[in-house]
Chains A and B, each alone.
Chain A
Amino acid sequence: MSKKTTAAIEKKKVGWLDNIAEKSGYDRKIVERFLKKYNIKQSPNTGTPKRVNFLDISFSGQKKGEYNNDFKFEFADLNAGVWGILSDKNGKGKTTALEVIKWLFKGKASADLQSGVKSWINEAALKFRIDDKKYLLSLQQADNVVSGQIELLKGDIKNSVVSEFNSEDEMAEVVSDFWLNELGLNQIASFRQSGSEVEAGKEVVHGWPALAAALFIGTDYGALFGDTALSGLPTRILNMFLGLPWISTHAALKALDGQLKSEAQVETVFEDRDKENRRQRLVEIQSELKLKREELALRPIPQFNNDGYNDLQKQYNVNYAAEKTAYLELIDEEDKAELVTKEWVLDKKKLNSFLEDKAANAVFKRLNPTCCPHCESKITQEQLEKEKNEHTCAICDKRMIDTEDSDIILSELEESVRASAAMCDLMKNSVRSKKLRHANLTQSITDLKAAMDEYEENLQTVRAAQTELDGLKHEVTRLEILEEEYKTARTVESIKTAVIEDEKEKPVAEVIDENKILQTAIKITHARFKDLQDELLQDVNERILGYCKIVGLSQYQSVALTSNPHLKIDKDGSPTSYSNVSKGEQLRLKVIVTIALISVAEERGLGRHPGFLVIDSPAAQEVNPEDLNNLINGLEGLCKVLPSLQIIIASVASPTLLAHIDDKQRLHAKGNDFLW
């Protein structure tokens, strides 16, 4: 370890927690509570390199489908160096063999294997060495149920079972724990951005499978480390394998930062949307308000005037009373007229009767009686003469009286008739007059009622207009209030504050700026490995540049692996980067960067990389044979420099591979043969 490194570590001897408390200005307990709240754990240890080599790889079972035969794959007695799983043709089981190896090493089968031949396998085993200890991971599968164990092999004495598993989930857990523990690795957290702007991203914990992926170089060279370029994962894998202290703590803090910022961004999005919505609503309100105000200005104020109605009502009441009086007077007058008429009838009848009687008397007096009405005996001439001379009745001999006053009676009767007739006429006129008056009054109250109804109708119209006007005024007021409301900016509560109460020490709640603590913690944690990181990366960069020449990348004049990690390249005097070079170069860079890492770790006794690599199909189309040749050549050389390095290559057999990988160090399915 260099002096500088030692000095850097010495400098950080002040406790991490105290350092954060001091720099953030918060009490140590508050900082502790903050870290506990977000499950941030301290990881101050540096990694000590452990070298892993696969020793035996085997799996067996029964094929299903086109072929039904039993099969067995066995690649035994491996050690450090370059090893090959080769076939002359594609489709002879290389990829499946690699997937089974990954399954056994990672603890979890890939999707390809799951949907493929995994169910054919009855037994599988991986024997490996970690430094001096040998282990055997063996599993059995029956009816798709997986069980197995990891044993520590002790040579002659009985092996001890490290752990067992009885399902695929348990296997994943057991294998993950075993390797993380053995290699001194920690799970690393990263922040995964959400795909939606209105949804916050989330913290993702990457376990052993993500770290292990960095040991398998497939045909996708997008990420410099591992198989995914997302979420800053390559940076953390790099740091982890560099053996830097505080890496998982730093990763957890950064993930938390990402998480909180994302939440804040979502809040901002919501806030912005809210502001925009409010602005749009304000425009709508103002537009509506303008219209309503214009409408209000144009609308005439309804004129209420009850006077006319009241006058009509008064007149109606007067006429109504008058009509009732007139009616009673008319009835009374008609009664009187009827009486007068009866009187006239009586007078008239008397007069008629008198005249009839007088006429009848005159008629009958002219006639002399001819016989007795009783005995019918003839009246004699003598009797008639006697009546004439003595004014006595010729029949009954009674004296006959002339009514000399008949003219007077007639005159009186005629006068009575005239008088009663005159009275009748008078009464008829009076009744007619009263009828007319009553009819006029009846008509007048009918007219007045109609006028009142019309007035009432008009008043209703006015009232309706007033109601509408009031409604409009109310609407304008409502809109004015709304306008005022929407003009006022809404206060958004800070999302970065939290209230922490400590009942014993602080009766009053204190507002904690968690972001301040977080940023301080990130800064301090980063500082704890930053110098060492720089130092190590400088060494790594030197190694990479050296290896470039070995694997045929001599056109590279400088290579700089940054902590991002990006690989800045100066190629023939022009700056470029990992993502811009050819696939063949990417493959070689990916391999030598890892090897450089292993190399530096080996030299410094600092690092967590297990020191082996599995490379799948390096002879793929995109990689030209010369590049491959250069790579294999280089690897052969590097394995000599790094005696514990183990590289397993699965590939179509090529002259280069066959030339560089010793016959004993390869499985080779020749012609149409299968590897298993």
Chain B
Amino acid sequence: MSQTTTVQDAIRLLYILVRGSDKISNHPDGYVGFFDGKAKLHALDFWVRYPDFLAYELLNKYDETGEDKYLLKAENIIDDQEPDLRSIPMIRYRFGAFENLHESLSLLVSKGLVYQDGDKSDETIKAYYYYITPLSVQLVDDVTAEFPSLAWYDERAKLVKEIAGSLGGSALKERQYKHMSYATTQLGTQIPSIKNEVINRLKALNRAK
């Protein structure tokens, strides 16, 4: 049973696509953003849906950079019980975490928020990419202010974009795949939480401070 409704998935994807896209200008159709590929969308969606995996990645970032903000953010995720309250489990498939987003993406497309395109051969799209319309950007700004329950997605999509940096979908998937509990999850089963692992790592870091 799906834990979320289509509109819920659609609004989450909308935040990811708008905040995770690269700004573009002077597009003949007036698009203001470009999001490169469905794999990247899945990868960023994974970090939004698994706050513990994101916290783990934040600690990696902290290890790399030594910037306290990453450590602080990871601590906040744990303190706010996000792994319990915000996680939306995914199933592991051959190429990592996956869920069919077709329905929610269709909603975004039909409402004129996202334009879906791709590299076509034999009239079949082989690699998707998405264009962000000016309406999407305006809508996200407006509803974030209007609905506090959606504000979390705005903040989280921006954070995920920051962590992902310029990496593409495959690179992100590979990075996520490095985690043992992710990698060792049997195909077709739910990817488990790594909350305790993160908590232990945080304790170790605090002890080391």
Contact = CB atoms under 8 A, between A and B. Distances in A.
Interface of A: 345, 348-349, 352-353, 355-364, 367-374, 376, 395
B140 to A, nearest CB: 9
B139 A369 contact: no
A348 B87 CA distance: 12
A364 B85 contact: no
B10 interface: yes
B85 A357 contact: no
Contacts of B106: 373-374
28 contacts: A348-B85, A349-B84, A349-B85, A352-B85, A352-B86, A352-B149, A353-B5, A353-B8, A355-B149, A356-B11, A357-B7, A359-B143, A359-B146, A359-B149, A360-B5, A360-B7, A361-B7, A363-B147, A363-B150, A364-B7, A367-B112, A370-B111, A371-B109, A371-B112, A372-B110, A373-B107, A373-B109, A373-B110
B110 A363 contact: no
Given A361-B7, A363-B11, A373-B106, A356 B112 contact: no
A376 B107 CA distance: 11
A373 B6 CA distance: 14
Contacts, number: 73
B10 to A, nearest CB: 7
What are the nearest 6 A-B pairs in CB distance? Answer: A373-B106, A370-B112, A360-B7, A359-B147, A355-B149, A373-B110
A503 to B, nearest CB: 107
Interface string B3-46: 11101101100000000000000000000000000000000000
Contacts of A395: 110
A288 B178 CA distance: 89
Nearest to A372: B110
B81 interface: yes
A406 B113 CA distance: 26
Contact of B111 (A345, A369, A374, A376): A369
B4 A353 contact: yes
Interface residues of B, number: 25
B3 A363 contact: no
Contacts of B112: 367, 369-371
Contacts of A355: 147, 149
A364 B107 CA distance: 8
Interface of B: 3-5, 7-8, 10-11, 81, 84-86, 106-107, 109-113, 135, 139, 143, 146-147, 149-150
A458 to B, nearest CB: 42
Contacts of A371: 109-110, 112
Contacts of A356: 4, 8, 11, 149-150
Contacts of B135: 367
A451 to B, nearest CB: 35
B85 A367 contact: no
Contact of A345 (B84, B146, B147): B84
Nearest to A379: B110
A367 B111 contact: yes
Nearest to B147: A359
Nearest to B104: A360
A357 B147 contact: no
Contacts of B147: 355, 359, 362-363
A500 B150 CA distance: 136
B144 to A, nearest CB: 10
Contacts of A376: 109
A611 B195 CA distance: 144
Nearest to A374: B106
A355 B7 CA distance: 12
